[in-house]
Structures are given as structure tokens and as C-alpha cells.
Amino acid sequence: MPQIPAVPLSWYLLLSAVLFALGVAGFLYRKSIITVFISIELMLNAVNLSFVAFSYHLHRIDGHIFSFFVMVVAAAEAAVGFAIILTIFKNRRTLQIDEIDSMKL
Amino acid sequence: MNLWLIPFFPLLGFLLNGLFGKRLPRAAINAIGVGSVALSFVYVVFVLSKLYPLHPAYSEHYFTWIQSGFLHIGFDLFVDRLTAVMLLVVTGIGLLIHIYAVGYMAHEGGYYRFFSYFNLFVFFMLILVLASNLLVMFVGWEGVGLCSYLLIGFYFLEGFAGNAANKAFIVNRIGDFGFSLGIFLTVLVFKTLDFGKLATAVSGMPVEASAGALTAITLLLFVGAIGKSAQFPLYVWLPDAMAGPTPVSALIHAATMVTAGVYMVTRVSFLYNHAPLAMSIVAFIGLFTAVLAATIGITQNDIKRVFAYSTVSQLGYMFLGLGVGAYSAGIFHLMTHAFFKALLFLGAGSVIHGLSGEQDLRHMGGLWKRMPVTFITLGVASLAISGFPGFSGFFSKDAILSAAYAHTPWMFWVGSITAGMTAFYVFRAYFLAFFGSYRGHHHAHESPPVMTIPLIVLAAFSLLGGLINVPHWLSPAFPLAEHENVTAMAISVTCGILGIALAAYLYVIRPALAESLKTSAGSLYTLVANKYYVDELYSGLIVRPLETISRSVLWRGVDEALIDNSFVDGLFGRTIRNWGALLRHLQSGSVRNYATWVLAGALLMIFIFSFSGGGR
């Protein structure tokens, strides 16, 4: 079997960092709750990517297992999150994040 | 044998009525409230018939409650012959009074509340009686105190009921403090609280000639008994406890709960037997309380208060019996007293019910033809408490007085004179209520059968209860003493009959004489009628000073001057407030704002970690 030159670990980590930064930026600057929510998923998956990359690089299984945990949590979070979003929309008729600030003192 | 089922039924009744009673119809509340106690009673009879002859005791272990170092306390229940008497008294008389309450409480609000508390009381009382160690007993002890508080304050919208409930609870706190100290000392000395193990441990110890550890334990436990069983100097709560509904007075404040102290002392009698000094104190306090309460009882005009002082006095008799070593006589009197005192209260309740709430003897009179059943049954109870030959009180009171005569003759003489006073004031109330001409303005009527049938059953027991030979039944644990004394019996009976005769003379034959005697006694009468000003004394010596200290030192001094002025409004408080005002701006309510802070925090951490060598 011919040896395919392996993609170096740093590339994966760089991609992961870029995805994470995009997620952070989206979380901070987008105005719609849905987009903010997608940004959170993006951050989670960026972390997942670095987990898997490390796991492959170090020949250890821990990172794989952890990434499954993250997926399960993300799925659960999505279910709860969308329920909250639906309720907010029903009550407020808006999904603009700046208009929802009733948690002020 | 599943002993736990005995207290379980009333607990279930409490939960059902307490949680759902508001939405249940009256018939269902009655069925649950009365049915649970009836089931418990039937089960007690079943268990006792299975376990007969109950010697040795039968015990059941359920779970380890506390396991700490050497101390091992299990949640154990047990039955011996003494418990059997108490179980039958609590569930049997409890059942009769529950039935009576269906009629008595018919027109009252909070009906379900009453029955749920009443069932809870029976539950805790059964725990107290069945407990096989001091701590489980203490659980029941505190529980009945709570129920007593709740039921005294049943008419909480009337201020005096709430005050009376508080008074009962607080005065009992003093006694329970002594009880808990006694338990601690028992743990310290014996390393166990189990009655069986305590009895074994103490049997190897010498009788204490002077005051020692056993004397301290028994006296501390007796402080608990003084509080619960309303002995001098903590008896003051019981007369005020009459603010509760009459079935409560009958069950809790006459027949069962107040006798818990007598039961407890008898239960740990092996400790008292090794502490003669403590026993003398028990006897002396009992006798003193009996005399004191009897004299007050003569002057009271509220029918329930007369009987309340009579309860205090009779409890004093029981302690006299215990103190002179006649435990079985004390328990015998406990049982017969439960019969006739419950009957006296239920009869009084029947009178009060028939007169639409009138309790003042001066507004009664001539009721015998309007309330024939109450008239006859109350007559039986009055004869029983007076120790009239053949009635139940005669046997038990005679057992106590004979034992006192054998022990200390002067105690017998004082006890006999008190028996005469007892007969006098009970019959004074009886004659004032039922003889002469009617002095009230309500329309008097006889109570419904649901109330009169329990009266008749209790009257039968008051008449014949003396034939139940409790001292003989208890003889395996408390050996029978040979002091049947015909002279002593004759003297105490003569005192009782003289008391009845005097009451008849003063309140039936020559009513005017009583009034003129009252005026000629003058200041002495005023002193006794005001209960020797003991309440006022306590108020002046304890309550007022406490209030003054609380107000001037603790409130004005500590709270206002120290904490409020120098701390909260001082430099310290102001600094914190100013910082708070600054930091408050951080809470903007905008999610993105918060997220930025999270990001800033995360970056800061990365920064710190990377400059401190990767966190290693």
C-alpha cells in the first residue's frame, strides 16, 4: 500500500481554530437568535474536530469517545434550545437578540 | 407481628385527611378519621391476643437509625405488659373520643383539619408508647407536644387560643430541655438508650445513697415528665390548654398525653429504683401538686378549668404513687383516670354543646332533667374520681394511698385530705351544673347519640374499670407489695364521702351559705381564685425581664446600635454598597454583553496559562 503523506496535525488545529473563531464572532455579532444558535453548534464542532485530530495523532481512543459525548450534548441542547426559541417567539413576536433583555436588574 | 401497623393507620388517616380533606365530604372525613383509629384499636387487640401472655416482652427491629461510634440506636418498637395497658388506653379511649368528636365538632369550621391533627396525635402517642429506646420515645414525646400545640390553638382566630397554644408549647420546651439533657447523660453513662440494655446495665450498679449520676439522670428525665404531665412548677400550661375543643381536652389533656410523663417514669423505673433521692422528690412534687391544684380547683367557675385542675391534681397522685415505689398503682390510676377524666370532659363538652358554648358554672343549673344521659354519666364519673367504694377510682386511689401509708404516713394523710377536696370540687361543679334552678339563657338540649353513646361506654368503664386488676397484670415487672390496709382505705373513703356531703350541703341544700363563706374567707379566697398568682409571678420574674432585655439590650443595643448603625450604615456597609453600585452596571440584560465577558475571561485564562508555562 503506497504511503499517503499524512495531513499534519497543525492543519487540523488551524482549521479548528478558524471554525471556533467564526463561531465566536457569529455569536457576538449576529442579531438573530437562530444564527447565534448555529454559531454555538459551530463552536462545538470546531472543538470536536480538534478532539478527533488529537485522538488520531496520539493513537488514543479518548478523543473519539469525547466527541460522541459532545454530539449527544449538542443534540440535547438543540432540542431544548429550539423549544426555548419557539416559546420566546410565541410570547415576544421577535427573534432579535437585543430586544430580549428582561433579565436586567 | 408487624407492630408498625399500629401507629401506621392513624398516620395514614392524618395524611389522607390532611392532604385531601378540604375536598372530601364530611362522611369521608369521618370514615377516615374514626376508621383509622378503629383499625388501630382492632389491630392492637389482635396483636395482644396473639402475644398473650406477653412475658417476656416482644420487640421488633426495623432499621438502624443512628450509628456513630459506640452509639447504636435502632428504630425499634416493643410490647410488654405495661405497653399493653397504654396501647389499649390510647387506642380504646382514643376511638371513643373520635366518635364523640364527630358529633361535637359537627358545627365547627376546619373539620378535616381537626381530624387530621387528632389522628396525628394518636400516631405520635403510639410511637411514644411503643418505643423501645429513649430516643424513639422522644420522637413521640415531641410529636404529641406539637399536636397538643396545634389543637389547643385550633380556634386560632380567637387570640387567647393562640396564646394558650404558645404557652403550652413554651412551657413544655423547658421540660423537654430537661428530658433531652437526661438522654445525653444516659448516653454518656450507659453508652446506650435501649430500655432492655439500660435495665441490664443498671442492675449491676449499687443503689445510690447520695446524689450521683443516676440521680442526675432520673431528675432530668423527671423535669421532662413535670413539663408534659403538668406538675409543679410547670403545670401552668394545662388549665389554659382548655382553650382547645373539648374532645382535645378529653383525649390529649386528660386521658393520654399528659400521662406520658407517668408512663415514661414507669418505663425507666429501674433507674429510679437505684436513685432513692430522686424518688422522694418525685413523690413530694406529686403530692404538692395534688394539693395545690385541688385547692385552686375549688374556686374555679369555668367547668373545664375545674376539671383541668383536677387533672393536674390526679397526675400528682400518680406521681405520688410512682415516688413511693408503687409503679403499678400509678399505672392503674393512670388507666382509671383515663376512663373517668375523659368521661368528665366529654360530659362537660356535652353540657357546653347543649348550651351553645356556655362554660361558666354560674350560668348553668338544673340541667338534670334537660340532659338526663349526661347527668347520669357525669355522676358516675364524679363518683369514680371521688373514690366512692365500688367505682374504678376507688381501687386505684386506694392502691396509691395504701402504698403511701406504708412508705411515709404523713403523705398518706395529706393525700387523703386531697381526696376529700377532690370529691368536694368535682361535686361542686356537678351540683352547680345539674341541680338548683337554671341560671342561663340558652335553650338547653341533650346531645345526639353519637356523643351520648361514648359517654355511656366510658361510664361503664368508670364504674367497672376497677375490676381490671392492673397491679396483678403488671406483677411480673413490678412485684405486688403487701400493704392492703383497711384502715387507710376507710380513712380515704371517709374523706371522699365527707367532701361529697359538704358539696351537697353547700350547693344543693343551703346555696346561700357558699356565697357567705366566700365573702368571709375574703383575701384567702381571692388568693386561691387567682391561682396563687403563679401566672403573674412567672410573668413578673421571667417573661417581663426577658422582654425588657430583648427590647433594650438585644433590639436597641445589639441590633440597632451595633449592627445597623455601626456596621450596615458604617464605613464597612457603605464601602460594600458603593462597590455594589459600580458592579451593578455589569448586569445589562443583554446576552451578547455577557458573552463578551465570557470571551474576555476565556482569553484572559489562555493568556495566563500560556505565560505560566502551559499550566504545568
Residue B592 sits at the chain A interface (C-beta within 8 Å) = yes
- Cβ atoms of B4 and B45 within 8 Å: the answer is no
Chain A residues whose beta carbon lies within 8 Å of the beta carbon of residue B589: 101-105
Cβ contact, residue pair A98, B588, below 8 Å: no
For residue B504, the model assigns a pLDDT of 86
For residue B616, the model assigns a pLDDT of 52
Q: Which residue of A has its CA nearest to B599?
A: A24
Q: Within 13 A of B183's CA, how many CA atoms are on the CB side? A: 20
* Residue in A28, A36, A105 closest to B596 by CB: A28
Q: Distance (Å, rounded) from C-alpha B335 to C-alpha B400?
A: 13
CA dihedral B205, B206, B211, B212 (to 10 degrees): -30
Phi, psi of B440 (to 5 degrees): -95, -170
- Cβ atoms of B132 and B78 within 8 Å: the answer is yes
Q: Residue A32 gets which letter from DSSP?
A: B
Cβ contact, residue pair A28, B588, below 8 Å: no
B614 min Cα distance to partner chain A (Å): 17
A97 located within any domain = no
A55 located within any domain = yes
Model pTM? 0.80
Q: Distance (Å, rounded) from C-alpha B127 to C-alpha B40?
A: 13
A48 located within any domain = yes
A8 located within any domain = no
A23 located within any domain = no
* Residue in B587, B588, B599 closest to A24 by CB: B599
Q: Residue B569 gets which letter from DSSP?
A: S
Q: Distance (Å, rounded) from C-alpha B481 to C-alpha B401?
A: 13
- Tens-place pLDDT, residues A24-82: 999 888 888 899 999 999 999 999 999 999 998 899 999 999 999 999 999 999 999 99
| B79: enclosing H helix or E strand | strand B71-79
What are the b/e assignments for B408-430, b being 16+ CB within 10 Å? beebbbbbbbbbbbbbbbbbbbb
**Closest C-alpha among B450, B142, B144 to residue B152:** B144
Q: Distance (Å, rounded) from C-alpha B396 to C-alpha B26?
A: 40
Average pLDDT over every residue of A11-20: 94
Q: Distance (Å, rounded) from C-alpha B170 to C-alpha A84?
A: 52
Phi, psi of B230 (to 5 degrees): 55, 55
Q: Which residue of B has its CA nearest to A105?
A: B587
CB-count burial class (<10 Å; 0-12, 13-18, 19+) for B516: exposed
Interface test with A, best of B583, B584, B588, B591 (most A CBs within 10 A): B591
Q: Which domain holds residue A76?
A: 32-92
* Residue in A28, A104, A105 closest to B592 by CB: A28
Q: Distance (Å, rounded) from C-alpha B246 to C-alpha B234?
A: 22
A65 located within any domain = yes
Domain count of chain A?
Answer: 1
How distant, in Å, are the alpha carbons of B76, B422, B474 from that of B295? 43, 9, 33
A104 located within any domain = no
Q: How many residues does chain A have?
A: 105
For residue B92, the model assigns a pLDDT of 93
For residue B107, the model assigns a pLDDT of 80
| Biggest alpha carbon–alpha carbon distance for chain A | 66
Q: What is the CATH number of the domain that holds A66?
A: 1.10.287.3510
Chain B residues whose beta carbon lies within 8 Å of the beta carbon of residue A104: 587-589
* Residue in A28, A97, A104 closest to B588 by CB: A104
Q: Distance (Å, rounded) from C-alpha B457 to C-alpha B463?
A: 10
**Closest C-alpha among B121, B124, B6, B23 to residue B58:** B6
CA dihedral B360, B364, B365, B368 (to 10 degrees): -110
| B17: enclosing H helix or E strand | helix B5-20
Q: Distance (Å, rounded) from C-alpha A88 to C-alpha A92?
A: 6
Q: What angle do CA B46, B83, B18 make, to 5 degrees?
A: 75
Q: How many residues does chain B have?
A: 616
3-state SS track over B309-348: HHHHHHHHHHHHHHHCCCHHHHHHHHHHHHHHHHHHHHHH
Cβ contact, residue pair A101, B596, below 8 Å: no
Residues in chain B predicted with pLDDT less than 70, given as ranges, are 482-484, 614-616
Cell representation of residue A70: 459532545
Residue B588 sits at the chain A interface (C-beta within 8 Å) = yes
Q: What angle do CA B206, B210, B215 make, to 5 degrees?
A: 75
Task: Please count the other Cβ atoms lying within 10 Å of the Cβ belonging to residue B553.
Answer: 12
Cβ contact, residue pair B587, A105, below 8 Å: yes
A99 located within any domain = no
Cβ contact, residue pair B595, A104, below 8 Å: no
